[in-house]
Structure 1
Amino acid sequence: MSNRDGLKCPVCTSHMLLVIDSRPKRDTIVRRRKCHKCATLFSTIEVISDTKGQPIKETA
């Protein structure tokens, strides 16, 4: 339940977050999260990157 990536609830700053839903979209992942402490729901958008931390660009 506790996260290791430093995310905090935007309302109460608790680290006790649950991932409710994850949806991949092209080069990002949208995750719906819920705070275990205050029950606030919020979304995060995570960019998929290579091992050097650079966003992966699609080649057409």
Structure 2
Amino acid sequence: MSNRDGLKCPVCKSHLLLVIDSRPRRDTIIRRRKCHKCAALFTTIEVISDIKGQPIKETA
């Protein structure tokens, strides 16, 4: 239930977050999260990157 990436609830600053929904979208992942402490819902957008931290570009 606790996260490893340092995210905090924007309302109560708790680290106890649940991922409700996760959707890949091109070079990002959109996750819907819920705070276990105050039940606040919020969305995070994560950029997929390579091992050097550079965003991965999709080629068409």
Q: Under a length normalisation based on structure 1, what TM-score does the superposition of the two structures give?
A: 0.97
Deviation at 1:37, TM superposition (A): 0.3
Identity of aligned residues (%): 88
5+ residue gaps, structure 2: none
Amino acid at match of 1:25: R
Tell me which residue corresponds to 2:10. 10
C-alpha RMSD of the superposition:
0.6
- 1:59 Cα deviation from its structure 2 partner: 2.0
Secondary structure of 1:9's aligned partner: coil
Structure 1 gap segments, 5+ residues each: none
Scaled by the length of structure 2, the TM-score of the pair is: 0.97
| Code of the aligned partner of 2:55 | P
Please list the CA deviations of residues 23-57 of structure 1 after superposition, one character each: whole Å capped at 9, or x if unmatched: 00001000000000000000000000000000001
Q: Runs ≥4 in structure 1, deviation > 2 angstroms?
A: none
